[in-house]
Amino acid sequence: MSSNIVPPPHDDLFSKTVETAIRLGVLAIVLIWCFQILQPFIIPVVWGIIIAVAIHPLYLKLINLLAGHRVIAATLLITVLLALLMVPTVTLTKLLVENVVELAEQFHQGQFAIPPPPETVKNWPLIGEPVAKIWNLASTNLTDALKLLQPQFKAVGAWLLNAAASAGLGMIMFIAAFVIAGVLLAHSANSYQLAHGIARRLVGERGDDFANLAEATIRSVARGVLGVAVIQSLLAGLGFIFAGVPGAGIWALLCLILAVVQIGVGLIVIPAIIYVFATGDTPTAVLFLIWSTLIMVLDNVLKPLLLGRGVGVPMVVIFLGAIGGMLLSGIVGLFVGAIVLALSYKLFQAWLNMESLSQ
């Protein structure tokens, strides 16, 4: 008589379940470990992909001029773009430092003076009285006025310190992103096949459409959000310099930040207009008012022209995705949020079309 005992079926199922759970656990640990190892490189790689996609049309034109030399075209384009971006960045940084040092020296030597507010300030609705009070106090006793605003200054100072601490690392990552973009451009054919292959694997036969949509969305956001913000801040900085506004570099940088986060340059430009009217001559103030008004409404003209162009998605979807993504994930979220929302919109449309066809 055989002594072999067949295990009950539930024991065999239990052992397979335990084995599967262990395998999944080990796989999860390996994936998390890989993610932690690669995490420092994720942001530069994402930026590199965004930059490469945004400037790819310019790269194709340069290839034609260089008789098809892809590596030379990619190297030349990235070098020129880095130079074009680094020169204004270094100039702006130098101007910022000079402005801060000059203001600190004037304040330390007691030479920093604020003119008294015009009489019309008191007539402003809601904010006229408190603004006139603080402004008048600052013109007569700046120290006491600064004490009133001490909590606000502490918050701004902490933000500036954090920004300064991360500026160096951010610049290194920015340069690394351009280098990655150059590598991707030099191998753009392989990159294109890889991206479309992944899209087809994930979505199926419509993968190419979604890959093309993601590409067009990146270019749309680069033109309609970052491009418009840079144009507005540069024009605002020129206006500040022309009107003689102190610390023009600082205010231009703040205009860039506010324009990127879609708050608008008005928070900086309107007080500058008031300052020029209060301290400068009338012709200069009027010209500065006209110039600043054009700058403040410029985004209303450029965004409808640039944002969403070439993308089969409503502009409001791109805009909401860019702003929501930026609030969630910073500057990179501008692009990622817009892409995710645009792709989700197209998927939703495809689902609706399938439902209507099935009926």
The answer to whether residue 122 is domain-embedded is no
The answer to whether residue 166 is domain-embedded is no
Dist CA 42 CA 40 (whole Å): 6
pLDDT bin (cut points 50, 70, 90) of residue 244 is: confident
pLDDT (0 to 100) of residue 277: 83
Q: Residue 304 belongs to what domain range? A: 206-351
Give the total number of structural domains in the chain. Answer: 1
Rounded to an integer, the average pLDDT of 274-295 is 85
Rounded to an integer, the average pLDDT of 10-33 is 84
Neighbours of 36 (CB within 10 A): 9
Q: Which one-letter amino acid corresponds to residue 176?
A: A
The answer to whether residue 86 is domain-embedded is no
pLDDT bin (cut points 50, 70, 90) of residue 32 is: very high
Mean pLDDT of the chain, nearest integer: 75
Rounded to an integer, the average pLDDT of 305-326 is 72
pLDDT above 60 (res 74): yes
Sign, Cα dihedral of 219, 220, 221, 224: positive
Tokens of 145: 């006025």
The answer to whether residue 159 is domain-embedded is no
pLDDT (0 to 100) of residue 103: 63
pLDDT above 90 (res 29): yes
Element holding 12 (H helix, E strand): helix 9-65
The answer to whether residue 171 is domain-embedded is no
Q: Which of 250, 296, 247, 243 is nearest to 270 (CA)?
A: 296
- In angstroms, the Cα distances linking 192 to 52, 136, 189, 203, 208 are 11, 62, 5, 16, 10
**What are the residues whose beta carbons fall under 8 Å from the beta carbon of 45, sequence distance 6 or more?**
177, 180
Q: Which one-letter amino acid corresponds to residue 194?
A: L
Q: Which residue has the tokens 């003209």?
A: 301
pLDDT above 70 (res 44): yes
Q: Which residue has the tokens 């890989």?
A: 34
Q: Which of 81, 49, 60, 53 is nearest to 180 (CA)?
A: 49
pLDDT (0 to 100) of residue 28: 92
pLDDT bin (cut points 50, 70, 90) of residue 228 is: confident
pLDDT above 70 (res 209): yes
Q: pTM of this prediction? A: 0.62
pLDDT bin (cut points 50, 70, 90) of residue 33 is: very high
> 167 φ, ψ to 5°?
-65, -45
DSSP per position, 129-163: HHHHHHHHHHHH-HHHHHHHTHHHHHHHHHHHHHH
The answer to whether residue 191 is domain-embedded is no
pLDDT (0 to 100) of residue 309: 63
Dist CA 96 CA 252 (whole Å): 10
Q: Which one-letter amino acid corresponds to residue 175?
A: I
The answer to whether residue 308 is domain-embedded is yes
Rounded to an integer, the average pLDDT of 333-354 is 75
The torsion region of residue 308 among left (phi > 0), alpha (psi -120 to 50) and beta comes to left
The answer to whether residue 278 is domain-embedded is yes
Distance of alpha carbon 88 from its chain centroid, rounded? 17
